[in-house]
């Protein structure tokens, strides 16, 4: 699927405001509502738009701590990795889990927790309990300079 300027504008706007009405969206990109809606549906159908979500303020939920946790595994086998990944997705505090190169760590996790007690519990009773996890290195986030940024539309 190739995108013209209308499609790109739609993606750009919907990443910023996923609740904009179709009429307002149509006006912003310079089309009438009917074709605008068709394009949005087509982008959803094509899998370019994978969903919509509300953005929630972590601090107002009491989730004031964010940490990055580097994880080292004992063996670099597909089985070890697969097992780790199926375990880690069940922990709701883990917002992100990336398999990475260029570090001592194999995985980098981003977690949000209420406080140090919760962090300790998460680390000692959940993460280090997963088979194969040998090393853990945590960085705490002091400031979130850019969050929830939108993808650049090429």
Partner DNA sequence: ATTAATAAGAAATTAAATTTCAAATTAATA
Partner DNA sequence: TATTAATTTGAAATTTAATTTCTTATTAAT
Per CB under 7 A, residues contacting DNA are 6, 21-23, 31-35, 37-39, 41
Please select the residue that binds its own copies; options are 4, 52, 76, 125, rule is CB under 8 A: 52
Size of interface with its own copies, in residues (CB under 8 A): 64
CA–CA distances in Å: residue 45 to residues 13, 41, 65, 97, 124:
18, 6, 37, 27, 43
CB closer to its own copies out of 88 and 123 = 88
Is the CA virtual torsion 10, 26, 53, 149 positive or negative? positive
- Least Å from the CB of residue 24 to DNA: 7
Round to the nearest angstrom and report the end-to-end CA distance of the chain.
Answer: 14
The contacts of residue 132 (CB under 8 Å, 6+ apart) are 73, 74, 75, 80, 83, 84
Residue 2 interacting with its own copies (CB under 8 A): no
CB closer to its own copies out of 32 and 139 = 139
- Least Å from the CB of residue 26 to DNA: 7
Which helix or strand (DSSP H or E) is residue 84 part of?
Answer: helix 78-88
Applying CB under 8 A, which part among 27-35, 72-80, 85-93, 125-133 lies near its own copies?
85-93
CA–CA distances in Å: residue 22 to residues 10, 18, 39, 54, 124:
10, 10, 11, 18, 48
Residue 102 interacting with its own copies (CB under 8 A): yes
Residue 136 interacting with its own copies (CB under 8 A): no
CB 64 within 8 A of CB 56: no
User: Where in 106-125 is the site for its own copies (CB under 8 A)?
Assistant: 107-108, 112, 114
Q: CB neighbours (10 Å) of residue 126?
A: 16
Binding stretches for its own copies (CB under 8 A): 1, 11, 14-19, 46-58, 60-63, 66, 68, 85, 88-89, 92-103, 107-108, 112, 114, 137-154
């Amino acid at each position: 699927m190739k995108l013209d300027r209308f499609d790109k504008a739609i993606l750009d706007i919907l990443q910023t405001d996923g609740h904009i009405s179709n009429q307002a969206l149509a006006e912003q990109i310079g089309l009438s509502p009917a074709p605008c809606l068709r394009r949005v549906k087509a982008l959803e159908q094509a899998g370019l738009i994978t969903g919509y979500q509300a953005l929630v303020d972590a601090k107002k939920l009491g989730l004031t701590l964010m940490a990055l946790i580097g994880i080292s595994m004992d063996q670099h086998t597909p089985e070890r990795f697969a097992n780790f990944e199926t375990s880690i997705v069940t922990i709701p505090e883990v917002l992100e889990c990336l398999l990475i190169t260029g570090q001592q760590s194999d995985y980098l996790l981003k977690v949000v927790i209420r406080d140090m007690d919760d962090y300790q519990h998460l680390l000692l009773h959940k993460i280090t309990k997963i088979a194969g996890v040998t090393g853990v290195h945590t960085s705490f986030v002091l400031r979130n300079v850019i969050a929830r940024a939108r993808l650049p539309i090429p």
